[in-house]
Structure formats: C-alpha cells, structure tokens
Amino acid sequence: MAEYEEHRVHGWLTQAVGRRSLLRGSLLGGIGLATAALIGCGGDDDDDDDDSAATQTTTTSGTTTTTATTSGTTSGSTDSSSDSSTSGDGDAAGDFEPVGELVQDPSLPYPFNFPEPNKAPVPGGVMKVAATWNFQTIDPTTSAAGGTVTVPNMVYNRLIGFKRGPAADVFQPEIEPELAASWERSPDGLVFTFQIDPRAAWQNVDPLNGRKFTAEDAKFALNRYATEGVHKSYYTNVADFEAVDDETLTVTMSRATADFLNPLASNKQTIFPKELVDDGTITTRAIGTGPMILTGLEAGVNVLFDKNPDYWERDVLLDGFEFLIMPDHVARLAQFRVGNIDYGYGLASSLRDLNEIVDTNPDIQVNLLPTTSNGITVGLNHTLEKYKDVRIRRALTMAMDRQEMLDIIFDGIGKALHVIPWPFLFDQEITLGSPELGQWFRYAPEEAKKLLAAAGAENLEVNNSYYAYTSGLEQMSEVYQAQLGEIGIKMTGGKVDYTEFNSQWVPSMLPDISTSAWATSGYDGDNWFHGQVHSQSPGNRWRTNDPEIDAWAEAQQVELDPDARKELWRKIWDKDLDQMYRPTMPWGFTIEIYQPWVRGLRFTGTSPGDNNSYYTWGDQVHTAWIDPDVEGRSG
C-alpha cells in the first residue's frame, strides 16, 4: 500500500488500523479490551478476523483492486486498506442487512449498538419522524444546516457512501459503493477513476423521467460544489473533472491530497441533477436517484416522501416517510409517548430524561453514541474588538465549570472535550484535566477575574444568540449565563428561532456570542484541521484569523507522511486551545431512542459527526421498516 494511502480508509484516524488496535487506543475512555471481547475481534492489528466477510485482492499495473463479499452473519464489517473498491451485487430479492451485534461499555447503562430481531423485513407503512430543523432552501451547495442537508439526502444518492444502519461498525468508518460501483486511485495519487453503476437511474419524475444516470451528471454536481457554495474547500486541490464516457468519471488533482474520498461519502455531497439548477428550482425541489421521492415541502410544517418504486439499488421497504417539523420538545415527547411518531429528535438529554420516558414507554429501543469531541462551542465573533483580546477569551472559558454542567444537565454522564476529536492525535482518551487540553481548559473563576481586570473588562457585557436544538442546550445556556455572572460578565440576549440563528451562524455573521455554535461535521482530518480553522474556509464560522494556523492547515492538506501530518495537527490543536478561539460546551452521550417497532434503522458512532440522527436518514431509509407484530403504533 502506498504511503499516502495509510490513513485513508479510516479517514478520521491518522492511519489505517484494525478494529482491535482502535479499541486498544481507548476510544471509549479506557474500556478497550472489554469492548473488544464483546465484539469478538481476533487477529493482529492489520488483519480483521471477522468471519462475516471474505476479501479477494488482486494487483495489476501498480493499482490495487479489492472485492468484498458478505457472508450474512451478524457482523457486517469488512476492513480493507486498498487503493480501490468494488461493489457486490447486493440487490437480490429478499436481501436485507445483517442484524447487527451488541457493542457495550459495561460502565454505561445502554449499548452503542444492539442486534435486530432475526426476522425478515415486512414492507409497507409510512415512517414518521419529529425533527427540530427547518429550512430556507434545499439546495445542498448552500448550507450545512439541518433541512438543507437532510431533505436532499432522502432523495439524492452520493457518489460513494459510508456504511450505515444496524450492521455498520460502531468504531470503523467503512466506505462503500453508491452511484460509483467501484473506484481507483493512480499510483501517484493524482487521478481518481470512478466507474458509475450501470443500474443507476434518476427518479421517474418530470423532467428527469427515469433517464439513466451518467458520469456527466456526477461531473456537473461535483463541479458545482467545487465552484460555488459552502463546500468549496473540499475541492481546493482538484484540477479537473472529466466524464470519459457515460460510466467513467475521472477526477484529477493538482497535487496529491491526503484526504479526498471521505467527504464524497458524506451526507454533505449528494448528487443533484443539472435540470433543476438550469430551471432555478433546486432551492425548492429535489428529484434524484435515491430511495424516496419528494412529494411535499412546507417550511415549519412537514416534508413528505413516497418511496421510489424504481429504486435501482434495492427494493425500498417503506411506502413513504414524513418529517414533522416540531421544534417544541414537549410536543415531540408527547407525540412519541402515544405512538404517533416513530422517532423524535432530542427526546432525552440525560439519563434522568430517559428514565422518565422508560416509565411510560418501557419497550423503547435505546443506544448511545461514543463521544470523542464536543461539537457545541461558545461561538465568538472574532472581528469584535473585545474578542481580539486573548485574555477575554481565556476568561470566558475559565469561568465555565464544565463538571457542574455535566452534573446538572447530564447526571454526570458526559464528556468535557476539545472540538477536535482526540483520536486524531492521541492513543488514550483526553479528559477534563488532561495536560493535552492546555492551561486554560479548566474552571478557575478567580484567575478569570484577574484576566478581565488586566484587559480592562471588569464590566464586560456579551449578547447571546442561540437556538435550543435540545432541552439540554437550553439548560446549558442558562447555567453558563449564571457562571459568567459569578466573574462579573453580564450575558444578555437569549433564545432565537432556527432560521434567525442559522442565518447568523452559517454565513459567519454572528452578531456577538452564541452558546449553540455548532462545529461542522467531519469525515476526515481536513475538516477539523483546515475546514474549521483556516481563515478563508467557509466552515470557519468563528472567523478565526491566525496566520500560523492557516499555514499549518494548508501544509497538512498535502502532507502524505502520517507522522509529519500528525505533527502539524498537534500544532493546530495546541494553538487553538492556547488562544481559546473556540471554547467548547461539555456534552452528554447522545441518546438515540426508537419506538419498539422500528427496524433496520440505527444511528451509531461510525464516522464522527456524520452518522447522527440529525442528518443521516437518507443513507439507510431504504432498509428501514415497521414491524407489524409490535403493538402500540398509532395511525
């Protein structure tokens, strides 16, 4: 395997590692071998001994081609470090995903994954999900916000994808074919060749009318992402897209790039048709190649879908799907309790919340997501004079009693971490008090007061503008407001609606401060060490402008030696924490709650920041089904 490929397959790590090696690195904070025993790994670090897959590898002309076949056991993981991948058939009638496996930290009350009942799926029914997002547009180039990503993902496919659902490995991201049946990178790392699946076709909806999907379609969408919108940074080092023929797309790089494939597999890079761009309707319509056909779209109310009866990849089990836009937590919970919805966003922020739901709905299904970073930050508008003073930024973080927040809001079960996932750099979990978090990432109110006095800001006032994505986030904002008051900082402002907040945050137009400043989700090192921190990146919503970080961010993009790249990452990590550009809010484990009749759907820890229930429905909705043998569902 070429040196530049060593990190790619498991993009958020620094090199390709076996599942056992990752667990030994204590992803879950010290439970490594216990979890490995539950999963049943074997073999050495470079060899996945799961008997769920057989791998055949052939090498020709300096390129490597790998074909994986699944045996149908409960583990759906295949580990490969090749330069190329090819799909199996996977579309035989009656095929369904393996049933998954139990993955649990014995110190936690719920698992990270659990097995599905061993029964054949039953087609039919309309799944209903209460969501907290809204939308202004569904053009996926324009934003990384909720509805703008989630709605297109139901209708469009991606060129390649991440494995999702109950069979996905909780710890190892695995890229799999979608519109591209196979792909290959040249030995010099400069040319990617994608072979389009000959079965792929657009939905039978005017003006696409079921026509064949071609390489020219893929070229158009990717070129638009590269030249306009908020995702351009993914394509910084792309020199050219070429449709060689209907089923062959090549992407030529201007220089060999450490990360490229993972963003293509993410929920942010769906493939849309030229026709909707040309007629100007892409902001309100979506006609794709995916499993669901968009039939209704009303901002603030709902989004409706019918199944695509001609879906080329496999039969869709559900008859339809509905997102009910329901920002009120009390309303979502009430609808869930009586069985009117199959899933609700953010139903429980703590074990206390979850126990209250279990009291009334004892048969619910629950899993937790592993936590390696804190994705909600204190967003600061760094163009304001007060936030240009590092003493004020450090005071803002030292005023925060993160452990108190975890105790009050999450019953003490949560993590206080940096915004960058620690496994990129470290073999052991970085926790509150770890020296790797630097000298400012701690609660020290008296020192914070001294910093404010030195900055001449004893009577500092900040104006908060946040959206309560969950009830826990609303509580967090209230606790932080009180903590700031203890060091003499007056926080005004407060909760705003979804549209107002994201119209400020997404285009980097935050008026002052925010306690709901979310970090863009990530699929590889480049997102965290360039996309979020480079002064010219659309993903740098904090408006950080640090020449040293810019230089390191650019250098890591093209550094092909894993160790040298990790050194650059560490410099960014250390300076980000030293300057406190992005103080983080601590967070509990994300709790995923499903009605007892929901099958074929699972949100796990695979691909940090990408496989979560806020966005990632479209990549597994085709395997979801409603179990008619389980009682309690209304409608």
**pLDDT tens, position by position, 387-414:** 999 999 999 999 999 999 999 998 888 8
Q: What is the dihedral of CA 294, 297, 302, 305, to 10 degrees?
A: -10
pTM score, two decimals? 0.72
Q: Which residues of 444-482 are buried (b: 16+ CB within 10 A; e: fewer)?
A: bbebbbebbeebebeebebebbbbbbbbbbbbbbbbbbe
Q: Which residues of the chain have pLDDT under 50?
A: 1-94, 97
**Tens of pLDDT along 217-247?**
999 999 999 999 988 888 989 999 999 999 9
Determine if the peptide bond prior to 586 is cis (ω within 30°): no
* Domain contains 458: yes
The residue type at 559: E
Angle subtended by helix axes 547-558 and 562-579, to nearest 10: 160
481: left (phi over 0), alpha (psi -120 to 50) or beta: alpha
Q: Take residue 212 and report the two structure tokens written for it.
A: 């064949």
Sheet holding 343-344, edge to edge: 292-298, 302-307, 320-325, 126-131, 343-344
CATH number, domain at 515?
3.10.105.10
Looking at the 3D structure of the chain, how many domains does it have?
A: 1
DSSP 242-290: EEEETTEEEEEESS--S--HHHHHSTT-B---HHHHHTT-TTT----SS
* Domain contains 288: no
* Domain contains 408: yes
Angle subtended by helix axes 402-410 and 471-486, to nearest 10: 140
In this structure, are residues 286 and 152 in contact, taking their beta carbons and an 8 Å threshold? yes
**Per-residue model confidence (pLDDT) at position 560:** 79
Q: Take residue 154 and report the two structure tokens written for it.
A: 């139901």
* Domain contains 253: no
Q: Is 135 helix (H, G, I), strand (E, B) or coil?
A: coil
DSSP 3-state percent helix, strand, coil across the chain (nearest 5): 30, 20, 55
Residue 287 CB-half CA count within 13 A? 20
* Domain contains 192: no
The whole-angstrom separation of Cα 367 and Cα 41 is 21
Q: Which domain holds residue 504?
A: 376-588
Closest CA to 264 of 334, 180, 200: 180
The values of phi and psi at residue 488, to 5°, are: 90, 10
The whole-angstrom separation of Cα 439 and Cα 462 is 24
Angle subtended by helix axes 390-398 and 445-454, to nearest 10: 160
**Per-residue model confidence (pLDDT) at position 470:** 84
* Domain contains 393: yes
The whole-angstrom separation of Cα 580 and Cα 428 is 23
**Per-residue model confidence (pLDDT) at position 145:** 79
* Domain contains 528: yes
* Domain contains 579: yes
